[in-house]
Amino acid sequence: MTGRGLKTLSIATLITLMVGFALVFLWVPMDADQGFKQKIFYLHVPLAIVALLGFVAGGIEGFRHLRSGDRRHDANSYVFIHISVTFGVAVLVTGAIWAKASWGHWWVWDEPTLVSFLIVFLLYCTYYPFRYAIEDRDRQARYASVFAITAGAFVPLNFMAVRMAESVIHPRVFATAEGGLPDSMLLTFLVCFAGIAMLWFTLVKTEMVGKRVSGQISQLRRTLNEDAGRSGGRIAPSVES
Amino acid sequence: MFDATPTDAVGYVFSAYLFFLLMVLLYIAILGAKFQRINRNLGELLDDIKADRNEAGDDPAKAPVTAASAKEPERAVEESGV
Amino acid sequence: MTPSRTAFAALLGKDLRTELRTMRSLPAMVLFAVTTFIIFRYSLDRTTLEGSLAGGVLWTTLLFASILGINRIFVSELEEGGFDAIRLAPIDRTVLFTAKASALFIYLAVLQVIVVPVFAIFFLSDFSALIPLVAVLLTVNLGFSVLGTLISSMAVNSRARDLLVPLLLLPLVVPLMIAATGASAGLFDAAGPDYDGFGSWLLVAGLYDGVFLLVGYAVFEFLLED
């Protein structure tokens, strides 16, 4: 993923999110069952879906990295996972706020999607200590790709298992966008989803740009040091073109 | 089943959106810090290049970076087209 | 190319011989499990367990005892240069994966053969749950072995080896544990084994095993490259 078109994308993201949030607070009708607090979902659900898709995309990039050896896929994988983990924090906090509003507790074990997400989030948090514990750059990239693939395969399994465990005891409390949503809510949801997805891409691109620039500077620094006989270096994944 | 009163609900919803906004701002702040670091590194790099060119000027025998190749890194940075 | 089966047998044999000769991790795992049972007896203030509580105590203990063993699986390999030997040998790399996973499967099975009867004697009033429990144990073992081998081989080359294995493995086995406890809760029912949902939980665990077997098989050779 390159930095091209970042400016246009950021502006588009901003506009979409503004329109989305305006729809949420000024236009869409109140939910009959849950009232005003239902509006959290227009933020919480898109964040969750985008984060999960991001994790899976990270796995796909990991796979492509192993296949081709092209380091750019590894950089993509790293950034996709990084941004998705950040979104994950927001998912868990907004989920906790919803739980508090609905059940009076900051956390509920009854909501399978939230619990599944927590487990996935914890797994991906281990990506960083894992990555930085391996010193050799090539090996680090390869192992990280293996991790990304394994974790990507894990996501659907995890949701399935937790879902099964909960449905035995409690009926689903959380009605999402699938089926039964009135058009106005669906439209609002889709706009918010588009905005959040674009935000994800914007942040990913931004991070890629930052990495590229840092990488180039390191490269220049190394060239200069070699010429002049100095030394230096670091471990983190970088993008050098 | 516990259910927040309407005014409480408004509070919760807004705190959720506010948290989201704060996270985005935090991210921007971190980007800003990263930017500063990059600028600093770039500055050091340019300083070192100038220093090397001056050295080469003083002592032609040990010119580590010739005038021509010293231009390369600068142009490369400008042309990185990021 | 040496036929995979002979290579497999050779590797497996070597692993089992090493473990039997040095008895490295098994005693620690068993001791850990038994001590944990004792702690549970006092912390839960119970002398008998049933239903989901029994399943919870058993599976938690088995999980953490197993992790003790998984940590060690590749240590001997790394220390004695086994990885290099295998890299040079003209065999299919994934044979190492299958051999290691099988060795781990056997270790865990031995652990369970010792620990589960102890658990039964300590906490169960009626042993009829044990026979169907074997099916659950075997399925979970497979999952542990596959993931344990995969994670362990990734962690062995890093600096924080002992920490990384639990760190990576624990979230990954959560669905498997959910399935295991779901399947066994009914078995430990006070009134006698209840098979409601047993089949579907086993299916979930089996699916989990299948997915990670495929993943492990596909990616393992990338872990061996230098």
Phi-psi region of C51 (alpha: psi -120 to 50; beta: other; left: phi over 0): left
- pLDDT value at C88 more than 70: no
Convert B42-52 to b/e letters by CB count within 10 Å (16 or more is b): beebeebbeeb
pLDDT of residue A241: 45
Q: Is residue B1 part of a domain?
A: no
The more confidently predicted of residues A241 and A196 is: A196
Chain A hits for C74, Cβ within 8 Å: none
| pTM for the whole structure | 0.80
CA distance C182 to C166: 22
Using the 8-state DSSP alphabet, how is residue C153 labeled?
Answer: H
Q: Return the structure tokens found at B67.
A: 């005038």
Tell which residue, C86, C202, C78, C215, has the closest CA to residue C138. C202
Tens-digit pLDDT profile for residues A55-79:
999 999 999 999 998 889 999 999 9
Using the 8-state DSSP alphabet, how is residue C124 labeled?
Answer: -
Q: How many residues does chain A have?
A: 241
CA angle C2, C4, C9 (to 5 degrees): 105
- Cβ(A195)–Cβ(B24) below 8 Å: no
- pLDDT value at C20 more than 70: no
pLDDT of residue A163: 79
pLDDT of residue B81: 45
The more confidently predicted of residues C91 and C175 is: C175
Q: Is residue B65 part of a domain?
A: yes
Q: Mean pLDDT, to the nearest integer, of C19-29?
A: 68
Average pLDDT over all residues of chain B: 74
Mutate to test the interface with A, among C161, C222, C224, C226 (most CBs of A within 10 A): C222
Tens-digit pLDDT profile for residues B6-21:
677 788 888 999 999 9
Q: What is the DSSP string of C20-82?
A: HHH--SHHHHHHHHHHHHHHHHHHTT-S---HHHHHHHHHHHHHHHHHHHHHHTTHHHHHTTH
The minimal CB distance from A228 to the residues B9, B15, B52 is found for B52
pLDDT of residue A1: 67
Chain A hits for C225, Cβ within 8 Å: 142
Q: Which residue has the tokens 């063993």?
A: C69
Cβ neighbours, 10 Å, residue B23? 16
Confidence of residue C130 (pLDDT cuts 50, 70, 90): confident
- pLDDT value at C29 more than 80: yes
Q: Which domain holds residue B46?
A: 6-79
Domains of chain A: 6-212 (1.20.120)
- pLDDT value at A140 more than 60: yes
The more confidently predicted of residues A100 and A111 is: A100
- Using a CB cutoff of 8 Å and minimum separation of 24, what contacts does A59-62 make? A59/A148, A59/A149, A59/A151, A59/A152, A59/A153, A60/A152, A61/A145, A61/A148, A62/A144, A62/A145, A62/A146, A62/A147, A62/A148, A62/A149, A62/A152
Listed in sequence order, the residues at least 6 apart from A8 whose beta carbon sits closer than 8 Å to its beta carbon are none
- pLDDT value at A217 more than 70: yes
* A162·C204 Cβ contact <8 A: no
Q: Return the structure tokens found at C107.
A: 């270790």
**Size of the A and B interface in Cβ pairs below 8 Å:** 96
- Cβ(A133)–Cβ(C159) below 8 Å: yes
pLDDT of residue B11: 85
pLDDT of residue A174: 44
Number of domains in chain C: 1
- pLDDT value at B67 more than 70: no
Q: Does C87 touch chain A (CB under 8 A)?
A: no
Q: Which chains touch C (3 or more CB pairs under 8 A)?
A: A
* A143·C225 Cβ contact <8 A: no
Average pLDDT over all residues of chain A: 84
Q: Does C210 touch chain A (CB under 8 A)?
A: no
Confidence of residue C2 (pLDDT cuts 50, 70, 90): low
| Torsion from C-alpha of A134, A135, A138, A140, nearest 10 degrees | 20
Phi-psi region of C42 (alpha: psi -120 to 50; beta: other; left: phi over 0): alpha
Tens-digit pLDDT profile for residues A146-182:
999 999 988 888 888 887 877 654 434 344 444 457 7
Q: Which chains touch B (3 or more CB pairs under 8 A)?
A: A
Number of domains in chain B: 1
Chain C hits for A134, Cβ within 8 Å: 157-159
Chain A hits for B32, Cβ within 8 Å: none
Q: Which chains touch A (3 or more CB pairs under 8 A)?
A: B, C
* A217·B10 Cβ contact <8 A: no
Distances A173 to A19, A89, A169, C60 between C-alpha atoms, Å: 28, 22, 12, 29
Q: How many residues does chain C have?
A: 226
CB-side neighbour CA atoms (13 Å) of A179:
1
- pLDDT value at C77 more than 80: no
Chain A hits for C167, Cβ within 8 Å: 126, 129-130
| Torsion from C-alpha of A150, A119, A167, A171, nearest 10 degrees | -140
Tens-digit pLDDT profile for residues C148-158:
988 888 887 77
Confidence of residue C220 (pLDDT cuts 50, 70, 90): confident
Q: What is the DSSP string of chain A?
A: --STTHHHHHHHHHHHHHHHHHIIIIISPPBTTTBGGGGGHHHHHHHHHHHHHHHHHHHHHHHHHHHH--HHHHHHHHHHHHHHHHHHHHHHHHHHHHHHHHHSSS--TT-HHHHHHHHHHHHHHTHHHHHHT--SHHHHHHHHHHHHHHHHHHHHHHHHHHHHHHHTTS------SSSS--HHHHHHHHHHHHHHHHHHHHHHHHHHHHHHHHHHHHHHHHHHHHHHT------S-----
Confidence of residue C18 (pLDDT cuts 50, 70, 90): low
Listed in sequence order, the residues at least 6 apart from A216 whose beta carbon sits closer than 8 Å to its beta carbon are A240, A241, B76, B77, B80
- Using a CB cutoff of 8 Å and minimum separation of 24, what contacts does C173-176 make? C173/C63, C173/C143, C173/C144, C173/C147, C174/A119, C174/A158, C174/A161, C175/A119, C175/A154, C175/A157, C175/A158, C175/A160, C175/A161, C175/A162, C175/C204, C175/C208, C176/A161, C176/C140, C176/C143, C176/C144, C176/C205, C176/C208, C176/C209
The more confidently predicted of residues A178 and C129 is: C129
Tell which residue, C94, C122, C55, B20, has the closest CA to residue A97. B20
Backbone φ, ψ for residue C190 (5° rounding): -55, -35
What percentage of chain C carries pLDDT values higher than 90?
Answer: 33
Q: Does C157 touch chain A (CB under 8 A)?
A: yes
Phi-psi region of A35 (alpha: psi -120 to 50; beta: other; left: phi over 0): left
**Maximum distance among all Cα pairs of chain C, rounded to whole angstroms:** 59
Q: Which domain holds residue C88?
A: 4-224
- pLDDT value at C86 more than 70: no
pLDDT of residue A69: 87
- The whole-angstrom distance between A83's CA and the closest CA on chain C is 20
Confidence of residue C101 (pLDDT cuts 50, 70, 90): confident
- pLDDT value at A198 more than 60: yes
The minimal CB distance from C211 to the residues A157, A164, A168 is found for A157
CB-side neighbour CA atoms (13 Å) of A200:
30
- pLDDT value at B76 more than 50: no
Q: Which of A59-73, C20-34, C209-223 has the lowest mean pLDDT?
A: C20-34
CA distance A21 to A46: 12
- The whole-angstrom distance between C40's CA and the closest CA on chain A is 23
